[in-house]
A and B are shown apart, each in its own frame.
Chain A
Amino acid sequence: MAAHLSSGRVNLTLLREAGRRELREFLDKCAGSKAIVWDEYLTGPFGLIAQYSLLKEHEVEKMFTLKPGRLPQADVKNVIFFVRPKLELMDIITDNVLREDRGRSPQRDFHILFVPRRSLLCEQWLKEQGVLGSFIHREQYSLDLIPFDGDLLSMESESAFKECYLESDQTSLYHAAKGLMTLQALYGTIPQIFGKGECARHVANMMIRMKREFPGSQNSIFPVFDTLLLLDRNIDMLTPLATQLTYEGLIDEIYGIQNTYVKLPPEKFAPKKQGEGGKDLPTEPKKLQLNSAEELYAEIRDKNFNAVGSVLSKKAKIISAAFEERHHAKTVGEIKQFVSQLPHMQAARSSLANHTSIAELIKDITTSEDFFDNLTVEQEFMSGIDTDKVNNYIEDCIAQKHPLIKILRLVCLQSVCNSGLKQKVLDHYKREILQTYGYEHILTLNNLEKAGLLKPQTSGRNNYPTIRKTLRLWMDDVNEQNPNDISYVYSGYAPLSVRLAQLLARPGWRSIEEVLKMLPGPHFEERQQLPTGLQKKRQHGENRVTLVFFLGGVTYAEIAALRFLSQMEDGGTEYVIATTKLINGTSWIKSLMEKLEPAPF
Chain B
Amino acid sequence: MSRARADEEEYWHSSKFRAFTFDDEDDELSQLKESKRAVNSLRDIVDDDDDDLERVSWSGEPVGSISWSIKETSSSSNSSLEGRDSSLQKGSSSYAAFPKQVSSYSLSSLFKGALCLSLSALSDTGVKNYAPELRRPKAEYKDYSSDWSPKDTVRRMQRGKVCSLERFRSLQDKLVLLDEAVAGNDGNVITAVLIFLKRTLRREILFRELEVRQVALCHLIHFLKESGEQKLLLDLLRFLDRTEEVALSQYREHLNIQDVEKRREFLKGCIGLPFSAEDTSHIQDHYTLLERQIIIEANDRRLEAAGQSEIFQKYPRKASILNMPLVTTLFYSCFYHYTEAEGTFSSPTNLKKTFKIPDKQYVLTALAARAKLRAWDDVDALFTTKNWLGYTKKKAPIGFHRVVEILQRNSAPVQVLQEYVRLVEDVETRLNLATKYKCHDVVIETYRDLKDRIQLTAYKCKVERGSADEEKINSILNNMVRNAY
Contacts and interface: CB of A to CB of B under 8 A. Distances in A.
Interface of A: 18, 21-22, 25, 29, 31-33, 38, 43-44, 46-47, 50-53, 55, 59, 61-65, 72-75, 77-78, 85, 87, 106, 117-121, 124-125, 127, 132-133, 136-140, 142, 163, 167-171, 173-174, 177, 181-182, 184-186, 202, 206, 209, 213-214, 216-217, 219, 245, 261, 263, 271-273, 282, 284-289, 306, 309-310, 312-313, 315-317, 319-320, 323, 326, 342-343, 345-347, 349-350, 352-353, 356-357, 359-360, 363, 366-367, 371-372, 375-376, 379-380, 383, 392-393, 396, 399, 401, 427, 430-432, 434-440, 442-443, 446, 476, 478, 491-492, 594, 596-598
B246 to A, nearest CB: 13
B145 interface: no
A511 to B, nearest CB: 26
14 contacts: A52-B68, A120-B191, A133-B106, A139-B120, A163-B222, A209-B185, A309-B32, A312-B31, A320-B41, A349-B42, A435-B355, A440-B254, A442-B283, A492-B18
Interface in B1-43: 1-3, 8, 12, 16-23, 28-29, 31-32, 34-36, 38-43
Contacts of B186: 171, 174
B282 A439 contact: yes
A491 B257 CA distance: 47
A183 B95 CA distance: 36
Contact of A436 (B72, B227, B327): B327
Given A169-B222, A272-B43, A427-B278, A133 B188 contact: no
Contact of A316 (B17, B38, B107): B38
Given A138-B119, A245-B20, A399-B364, A320 B70 contact: no
B125 interface: yes
A22 B129 CA distance: 7
Nearest to B50: A350
B91 A360 contact: no
Interface stretch (B213-221, B420-428, B449-457): B213-221
A168 B160 contact: no
Contact of A434 (B18, B40, B88, B282): B282
Interface string B71-102: 01110010100011001101110110110100
B464 interface: no
B66 A167 contact: no
Interface of B: 1-3, 8, 12, 16-23, 28-29, 31-32, 34-36, 38-43, 45-46, 48, 50, 53-54, 58-62, 64-70, 72-74, 77, 79, 83-84, 87-88, 90-92, 94-95, 97-98, 100, 103-104, 106-108, 111, 115, 117, 119-120, 122, 125-126, 128-135, 137, 155, 157, 160, 185-189, 191-192, 195, 214-215, 218-219, 221-223, 225-227, 248, 251-252, 254-256, 278-279, 282-283, 285-286, 289, 323-327, 355, 357, 360-361, 364, 402
Contacts of B107: 127, 132-133
Given A52-B65, A271-B48, A446-B248, A349 B60 contact: no
B20 A167 contact: no
A182 B20 contact: no
B99 to A, nearest CB: 10
A399 B358 CA distance: 12
B190 to A, nearest CB: 8
Contact of B84 (A33, A284, A286): A33
Contact of B46 (A286, A342, A431): A342
A188 to B, nearest CB: 10
A350 B77 contact: no
A52 B69 contact: yes
A61 B84 contact: yes
A551 B388 CA distance: 65
Given A306-B23, A310-B31, A439-B289, A64 B12 contact: no
A137 B185 contact: no
B132 A185 contact: yes
Contacts of A316: 34-35, 38-39
A434 B188 CA distance: 37
Nearest to A63: B70
Contact of A32 (B35, B88, B137, B221): B88
A38 B70 contact: yes
Nearest to B87: A33
Given A313-B35, A439-B286, 7 more contacts: A31-B95, A119-B188, A120-B117, A360-B32, A392-B1, A436-B326, A442-B279
Nearest to B364: A399
A438 to B, nearest CB: 4
A435 to B, nearest CB: 4
B326 A435 contact: yes
Contact of B185 (A206, A363, A431): A206
Nearest to A136: B103
Contact of B187 (A174, A345, A356, A372): A174
A375 B8 CA distance: 13
A32 B94 contact: yes
A375 B254 CA distance: 37
Contact of B218 (A167, A214, A360, A366): A167
A347 B84 CA distance: 38
List the 4 closest A-B pairs by CB distance, nearest first.
Answer: A32-B91, A287-B60, A171-B187, A185-B131
B134 A312 contact: no
B254 to A, nearest CB: 8
A568 to B, nearest CB: 23
Given A63-B66, A75-B88, A124 B32 contact: no
Contacts of B69: 52, 55, 63
A182 B135 CA distance: 11
A313 B94 CA distance: 60
Contacts of B97: 31
A379 B38 contact: no
Nearest to B36: A356
A214 B133 contact: yes
A350 B279 contact: no
B282 to A, nearest CB: 6
Contacts of B192: 120-121, 124
Q: Which of B36, B53, B95, B117 has the most CB of A within 10 A?
A: B36
B267 to A, nearest CB: 9
A459 to B, nearest CB: 20
A51 B64 contact: yes
A317 B31 CA distance: 11
Given A217-B133, A436-B327, A598-B255, A360 B36 contact: yes
A345 B50 CA distance: 12
B10 to A, nearest CB: 13
Contacts of A346: 46, 48, 50, 53
B354 to A, nearest CB: 12
B404 to A, nearest CB: 14
Contacts of B35: 312-313, 315-316, 352, 356
Contacts of B188: 85, 117-121, 171
Nearest to A440: B255
B14 to A, nearest CB: 13
Contacts of B66: 38, 43, 46-47, 50-52, 55, 63
Contacts of B402: 396
A169 B218 contact: yes
Contacts of A185: 130-134
A47 B126 CA distance: 23
Contact of B20 (A186, A436, A491): A491
Contacts of A22: 128-130
Given A181-B134, A313-B34, A367 B248 contact: no
Q: Which of B2, B155, B188 has the most CB of A within 10 A?
A: B188
A33 B88 contact: yes
Contacts of A140: 126, 160
B90 A59 contact: yes
Contacts of B185: 170, 173-174, 177, 202, 206, 209
B130 A182 contact: yes
Contacts of A139: 120, 125-126
